[in-house]
Amino acid sequence: MRTVFEPSCATAVAVRAQELGKRYGNQWALRDCTFELPQGRVAALVGANGAGKTTLMSVLASLLKADEGSAHAVGRVAFVSQEKPVYRNFSAADMLRLGARLNIVWDQTRAVRWLERFEIPLDRACGKLSGGQHAQVAFALAIGSRPSVLILDEPLANLDPLARREVSQELLSEVAETGMTVLLSTHVVAELGGVADYLLLLARGRLLSGGDVDDLLASHVFITGPRSEVLPVASSAVLQARHHDNQSTFLLRLPDRQPRPFVGRPWSQRAVTLEDYVLAQLQSTRKGDDA
Ligand SMILES: Nc1ncnc2c1ncn2[C@@H]1O[C@H](COP(=O)(O)OP(=O)(O)OP(=O)(O)O)[C@@H](O)[C@H]1O
C-alpha cells in the first residue's frame, strides 16, 4: 500500500490527474491525461489492449513516475496488480499476518470476512490455491489495509462468472460501508452495468471519454429505422452508424442537457447501455474516427 498524496484540503475528489504523461523510452504510453474521480465512486477504466490502463494505475499508485503532469490521490492507496502478488509458500492466514505487520492501518475482521465470503482456506499455501482463489487473497490484503482509494488492475480476470458478480457486489458493499473509492480496469465490459458509476475510457494513451455513467448514458441514444445514410433528426453528433440489410442504426450524442429527440415511425429509439457506449467508443478509435 502506498500513499500517493496527502489530502491538501477537504474535498470530494479522490483522485486527480492533471496533464499526466508517461513514456517508455521515446514512446508515450500515456499522454495529456486529465480527470477528477469523485470520492466514493466505483470507476471503470476501460480501453483496448495497450491503451495505457496499467501504466495509468501504476502512476496513480506511485509505482511509476510520471514524465509529465501530476497525479494526486487522497489518503491511503492500495493497488492490486494484474499478477495479484502473494507469497507462494505463505498461507492466506500468513499473508494476513504480513498485512497486519506492513500496514499502519489494518482491519483483520474485514480481511478475514472477505476470505470467508469466498470460502478461501486460510491454512493452505497460496501456491496451492487456484488462480481465482489466489486473487481473492490479494483482494483480502488490499481490503484489510482500509484504503481510501483501491486500485485494481483487472480484478475480474481469472474469476468464474459467479465469482465475478460476487466480487463486484462485495466491492460495492465495501464502498457503501467505508466510503472508499475504487478504480478498476477491466475488459469484461458487459458486467460493468450496475457496478461502475464512473467511467474513464483510454485510447492509445489518451483519455477519450470520462465521467458519470448515468450522465454519459443519458446523453446518448440509439435510433433505428429503414436503411438510410440520412439521419431522421437534425444536427446530432453521430458516434456510430451501422447499416445491415434494410436497417440502419445510429448512436447519437445529444447536445448538452437536451432531451432525446422525437423520432416518428418507422424510426424508433432505445436507451444506450454502458457496454454499447464503450464498444462504440472503442470501435470509433479503431477506425480512426474522432467521434
Ligand atoms: N515496461 C514497458 N516498456 C516499454 N513499453 C511498455 C512497458 N509497459 C507497457 N509498455 C507499452 O505501453 C503501452 C501501454 O501499456 P499498458 O500495459 O499500460 O496497457 P494496458 O491498457 O494496461 O493493456 P492491456 O489491456 O493489454 O493490459 C503499450 O503500448 C505497451 O506496449
CB 248 within 8 A of CB 225: yes
Ligand 1 site, residue 50, Cβ cutoff 6 A: yes
Domain 2-210 CATH (choose: 3.60.20.10, 3.90.550.10, 3.40.50.300, 3.30.70.260): 3.40.50.300
Whole-number Å distance between alpha carbons of 166 and 221: 30
SS3 label, residue 78: strand
Question: Cα of 31 to ligand 1 centre, how many Å?
Answer: 13
pLDDT at 259 over 90: no
Looking at the predicted structure, is the pLDDT value of residue 290 above 80? Answer: no
Is residue 254 pLDDT above 50, yes or no? yes
Is the confidence at residue 120, as pLDDT, over 90? yes
Q: Of 32, 3, 23, 286, which is closest to residue 148 (Cα–Cα)?
A: 3
Q: What is the pLDDT of residue 291?
A: 40
Compute the distance from residue 55 Cα to the ligand 1 centre, in Å. Answer: 6
Q: CA 56, CA 281: separation in Å to the nearest integer?
A: 19
Residue of the nearest CA to atom 26 in ligand 1?
Answer: 49
Residue 5 has pLDDT above 50, yes or no: no
Q: How far apart are the CA of 274 and the centre of ligand 1, in A?
A: 25
Phi, psi of 2 (to 5 degrees): -135, 145
Question: What is the model's pTM?
Answer: 0.90
> pLDDT, tens digit, for every residue of 220-249?
999 999 998 887 777 668 888 889 889 999
Higher pLDDT, 55 or 238: 55
Is 111:140 a contact under the CB 8 Å cutoff?
yes
Q: Taking residues 27-39, what's their average pLDDT?
A: 96
Residue 246: is it exposed, middle or buried by C-beta count within 10 angstroms (0-12/13-18/19+)?
exposed
Q: How confident is the model at residue 133 (pLDDT cuts 50, 70, 90)?
A: very high
With a CB cutoff of 8 Å and minimum separation 6, the contacts of 29 are 22, 23, 52, 55, 205
Q: Is the minimum distance from the CB of 31 to ligand 1 under 6 angstroms?
A: no
CA of 94 to the centre of ligand 1 (A): 32
Distance of alpha carbon 105 from the chain centroid: 25
Nearest CA to ligand 1 atom 14: 52
Vertex 47 angle, CA 55 and 174, to 5°: 75
Using the predicted structure, report yes or no on whether residue 288 has a pLDDT greater than 60: no
Site of grid cell 487456484: 130
The reply to whether ligand 1 has any atom less than 6 angstroms from the CB of 29 is: yes
Q: Where are the domains of the chain?
A: 2-210, 219-286
